[in-house]
């Protein structure tokens, strides 16, 4: 249950649309606590964790890094090429991520604003954790170029990873606010200032 005094912003978007950039601005410029689902997911597969053991037992040498532990790039190639394997991994990780969210939200129960950065917010049905949802958006060609550069992927590999999530056109109507992240950081931050001052949290005016 969301505390009545608390504004919980669900921050989501497509892969490589710039959620992390927005999260950093909200944390560093605006001083807000940002809970990062991707960070929790990495912890779920950390060295010596139950998650790591389950992945290594399932995939063996295909995902074992030369220095030990999980080769995350190799694991990514498997799960983004096979929907059933991706579903298995999500079923392993999502309960662990949700438990971390619950613990940190309890710790931050008195905070007036908390940001929940959840890439698969709609896909995982986690809208109920949030009082409002912000979608980070950009042009499709920008998204592909960013993803290819960030993860050193071919265009075909990048398109496959984008296709593994809900398309942005499906997510846009579900969001309370769409944040355009196609330009300079100052333009992006101005959108955040406007949204934090009111935006999606405002109640609609009633007709007189």
pLDDT at residue 206, rounded to an integer? 36
- Enter the tokens of residue 131: 């009082």
Domain carrying residue 2: 1-33+108-199
- 56/142 same-domain check: no
Angle at 189 between CA 203 and CA 14, to 5 degrees: 80
- Enter the tokens of residue 43: 């912890």
- 112/141 same-domain check: yes
- 121/174 same-domain check: yes
pLDDT at residue 198, rounded to an integer? 81
Asked whether residue 39 is assigned to any structural domain, the reply reads no
Cα 169 from Cα 79, distance rounded (Å): 23
pLDDT at residue 200, rounded to an integer? 44
- 145/115 same-domain check: yes
pLDDT at residue 64, rounded to an integer? 96
- 50/19 same-domain check: no
- 122/191 same-domain check: yes
Question: How many domains are contained in the chain?
Answer: 2
pLDDT at residue 1, rounded to an integer? 85
- 59/117 same-domain check: no
HEC-encoded secondary structure of 113-180: EEEEECCCCCCCCCHHHCCEEEEEECCHHHHHHHHHHHHCCCHHHHHHHHHCCCCHHHHHHHCCEEEE
pTM of the model: 0.89
Asked whether residue 41 is assigned to any structural domain, the reply reads no
- 21/123 same-domain check: yes
- For the chain, give the longest Cα–Cα distance: 69
pLDDT at residue 202, rounded to an integer? 43
Q: Which pLDDT tens digits describe the chain residue by residue (208 residues)?
A: 899 999 999 999 999 999 999 999 999 999 999 999 999 999 999 999 999 999 999 999 999 999 989 999 999 999 999 999 999 999 999 999 999 999 999 999 999 999 999 999 999 999 999 999 999 999 999 999 999 999 999 999 999 999 999 999 999 999 999 999 999 999 999 999 999 998 444 443 434 3
HEC-encoded secondary structure of 82-120: CHHHHHHHHHHHHHHHHHHHHHHHHHCCCCCEEEEECCC
- 88/126 same-domain check: no
- 6/91 same-domain check: no
Order of strands, sheet of 177-180, starting from the edge strand that comes earlier in the sequence? 34-36, 113-117, 7-13, 132-137, 177-180
Asked whether residue 204 is assigned to any structural domain, the reply reads no
Please say whether the beta carbons of 76 and 147 come within 8 A.
Answer: no
pLDDT at residue 201, rounded to an integer? 40
- 138/173 same-domain check: yes
| H helix or E strand, kind and range, residue 9 | strand 7-13
- 177/130 same-domain check: yes
Where residue 8 sits, what CATH number does that domain have? 3.40.50.300
Cα 168 from Cα 123, distance rounded (Å): 12
């Amino acid at each position: 249950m969301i505390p009545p005094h608390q504004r919980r912003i669900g921050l989501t978007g497509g892969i490589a649309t710039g959620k992390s950039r927005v999260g950093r601005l909200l944390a560093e410029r605006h001083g807000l606590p940002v809970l990062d689902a991707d960070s929790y997911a990495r912890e779920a597969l950390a060295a010596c964790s139950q998650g790591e053991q389950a992945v290594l037992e399932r995939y063996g040498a295909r995902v074992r890094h030369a220095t030990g532990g999980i080769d995350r790039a190799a694991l990514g190639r498997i799960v983004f090429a096979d929907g059933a394997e991706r579903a298995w991994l999500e079923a392993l990780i999502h309960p662990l991520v949700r438990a971390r969210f619950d613990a940190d939200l309890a710790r931050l129960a008195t905070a007036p604003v908390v940001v929940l950065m959840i890439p698969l917010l709609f896909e995982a049905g986690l809208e109920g954790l949030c009082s409002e949802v912000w979608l980070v958006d950009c042009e499709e060609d920008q998204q592909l170029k960013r993803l290819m550069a960030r993860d050193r992927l071919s265009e075909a590999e990048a398109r496959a990873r984008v296709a593994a999530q809900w398309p942005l056109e499906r997510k846009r109507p579900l969001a309370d606010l769409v944040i355009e992240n196609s330009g300079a950081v100052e333009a992006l931050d101005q959108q955040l200032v406007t949204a934090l001052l009111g935006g999606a949290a405002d109640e609609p005016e009633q007709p007189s």
